[in-house]
Structure 1
Amino acid sequence: MSDAKRRVAEAAAELVEPGMRLGIGTGSTAAFFIEALGRRVTGGLEIPPAAATSRATEDAARKAGIPLVDMMGPNAPRELDLAVDGADEVDPELRLIKGGGASLLREKIVEALAARLVVIVDASKVVDRLGAFPLPVEIVPFGWASTAHLIRDRLGVEPKLRQVRGETLKTDNGNFIVDCAFGSIADPEAAAHTLSQIPGVVEHGLFLGMASEALVSDGHDVRRLAPA
């Protein structure tokens, strides 16, 4: 699907206009966007420092010549014109599951600032109903097993602590992620509300009512999806 990812990424990069304040997502499709945007910046496109959603994105953006704002500093932006990011699933109402790249908290913080969030995905990520992709939930390490138990109790799913090469993954924020295999989420809004009420849950990977549009490709054409 690399051709599809590259096509939507390049289409999104063409949406960037001089002076736009940007948020840049994380993941394999966002990486193609960074490459395409970097070519435009080195070719003369002038933009203010952009907001990156992970350390990996920061590194890639710097290598591409894209200026970055310090999101840890007091002058972090309060508003952005455009954010571009991938997704693990997109439904017909442009509700998203994100967090496969373990950057869901920073992504949600940055993308909540954006007047326009454009989601870039290959066609395999478009689904009729969310939930086949296990929902990532970022939780604090303290009492993580108790937090996972509450998630299991209240939502009827089995949270699985994410590990990489035999070790518990830590996000850029020092937190853990549990992946919740719903299979199908009948009511994403209700699931989001329930998760937000559980102590120890920092953020969940349901991005609801945030996406303005999605650019989708099967490797040939790029089509635009707007909210139903």
Structure 2
Amino acid sequence: MRQLTSLLLLGTLGLLGGCTQSSSSLTQTLALAFEGPQGVAITPQKIAQLPYASMLAQQNSSPEALLVLAWSENNPHASSNNIPPNLKWLSANKEMVVTRAGRIIKTINLGGGNITKLSSNTIDPIILGLQKESTPKYWKYQLSWQPGYHSKYNAESHFVIQGHAQLTLPIEGTVDTLLVYETVTIPRLDSTYTNTYWLNPDNGTVLKSVQTLAPSLSTMTLTQGKAFGEQQ
């Protein structure tokens, strides 16, 4: 995540069509969120005073950036199958991370490459709640990414619950979590990598994660700031 300048804040307005927040209020929020060097000026007090949901994002070993929730988009037939909305998190540098139930399903403008699509005919076990014994611990899906022509590669995930672990969040402080490892295999490339999730043990909400976007792409660390649904 690159350090942002005040002039770049004006450029975000072109991305806000259809957003539930007003352009003026989101611009003010972004200005508040991104003033000062990233990884230095981010404090629990700053996160708490933002009027919208937010999260900390770190690409590989770069400094943390504070992303603000710009859109919440319901999926088709979401009410009938309990699929949560796609949450679109925006930086003032026009970088975007799209998550569903805490999983990264798309990225835009990230240096080094982006997920372009993630799809499956079955429900992500993270959505079903990995804390439940009845939830499958195996999932198959298709993953597309760039650069290069990487379209609809079959992927397989195996989840292993490691047990309880303590996690410190910016606002909530130290909380108890359920630590889960996800081993992702792309058979066509003979490639394997591991994602890590810290879940709320009661409802399965992802509080923090370390996710590799795709083979040879970046690793993203996402940490809950102000949770979706708790914004003012």
Q: TM-score, normalised by structure 2?
A: 0.28
More helix by share: 1
Q: TM-score, normalised by structure 1?
A: 0.28
More strand by share: 2
